[in-house]
Amino acid sequence: MVWSLVATALRWLAAHPWVPIVLLLIAAAAGGVWVHRRREAARWNRVREQGLRYEMPQIDALHHRQFEEAVRDLMRRDGCPEAIQVGGAGDNGADVKATDPYGRRWVIQCKHRSAGLAGSAVGTPDLHVLNGTGRPVHNGDVIVLVTNGRFTDKAVAFARSQRLHLVDRHLLARWAAGSTPLWELLNAVPSPAVPPPGPEPCRGRDGVRKPLERHTGRLPGPRARTLPLAGCSHSSLPPSHPPRPPTTSPEPARGPWCSPSSPDSCSAPEGWVLHGR
């Protein structure tokens, strides 16, 4: 019975050869439309993330799960394309996880208050959970608690003692409504885990790469003298030289551009000049 039906169908298709062609064209057109819509959706997602802004009334009106998604999207806007929302049952204190362009792993807990500043303040119990899991369980480098409300004084003191970062309503408003990455708004963020790409290290007149020193007019050692090497100042770097990563130190950090134990790995970031003896 089955074989007879198959034979009949084949004979019908043989008598109407245009039918398979039409079906293939319809399938190809449907596939093309699907691919086009996927690409357009991805493009608009990128545009939305790059220009994403939130005002505080918008954030206050969100559901707590939507608040977590908003924080995730802000991290993506800042340059963390793999930021994910993981909040829910068994999240071990993490609602959003991300890796920034400098290789630092961010573990973020979100506390939404529908009443904003008038809502209950976030206290130390929430920080105890985050502090106990952020580094040991989630392997985070930067541990953050974000709220659209406020923190108790004890929570602020505890966070400072445990190297936790707090984002209250005022800081959240600056972050959400602007375009500055969160790591440039926080204090005492750990140094980048990976060095940013930079230019080729400068070389001395003998062709050997020299260590970098702050341009103070002196060199280390008993025979200190000033000898700037041509082509090694910041002004001589190519225009495509990327900016230094943000640092909380008032003076530019030596690492990761120049390690005292490995002077041959030096490059010249902004504000530094290479000297030789």
- Does the structure show a pLDDT above 80 at 199? no
- Distance, in Å, from the CA atom of 63 to the CA atom of 60, rounded to the nearest integer, reads 8
pTM reported for the whole predicted model: 0.56
CATH of 56-184, one of 3.30.1180.20, 2.40.110.10, 3.40.1350.10, 1.20.1280.290: 3.40.1350.10
Q: What is the pLDDT of residue 169?
A: 97
Average pLDDT over the chain, rounded to whole?
A: 76
Give the highest mean pLDDT range of 11-20, 73-82, 198-207, 265-274. 73-82
Q: How confident is the model at residue 147 (pLDDT cuts 50, 70, 90)?
A: very high
Q: What average pLDDT does the segment 171-198 reach?
A: 86
* Beta-carbon contacts of residue 98 (< 8 Å; ≥ 6 apart): 72, 75, 76, 80, 82, 83, 84, 105, 106, 108
- Does the structure show a pLDDT above 50 at 227? no
Tokens 């708004």 belong to residue: 185
Q: How confident is the model at residue 16 (pLDDT cuts 50, 70, 90)?
A: confident
Q: How confident is the model at residue 249 (pLDDT cuts 50, 70, 90)?
A: very low
Q: What is the per-residue pLDDT across 60-94, written as a single tens digit (0 to 9) for each?
A: 999 999 999 999 999 999 999 999 999 777 778 89
Q: How confident is the model at residue 196 (pLDDT cuts 50, 70, 90)?
A: low
Q: What is the pLDDT of residue 32?
A: 85
Q: What is the pLDDT of residue 182?
A: 96
Q: What is the pLDDT of residue 245?
A: 54
Q: Which two tokens stand for residue 27?
A: 């399938």
- Does the structure show a pLDDT above 50 at 225? no
Domain chopping of the chain, boundaries: 2-50, 56-184, 195-277
Q: What is the pLDDT of residue 275?
A: 46
**Percent residues over pLDDT 90 in the chain:** 45
User: Between 35 and 276, whose confidence is greater?
Assistant: 35
Q: What average pLDDT does the segment 199-217 reach?
A: 44
Is 94 exposed, middle or buried (CB count within 10 Å of its CB: 0-12, 13-18, 19+)?
Answer: buried
Q: What is the pLDDT of residue 234?
A: 39
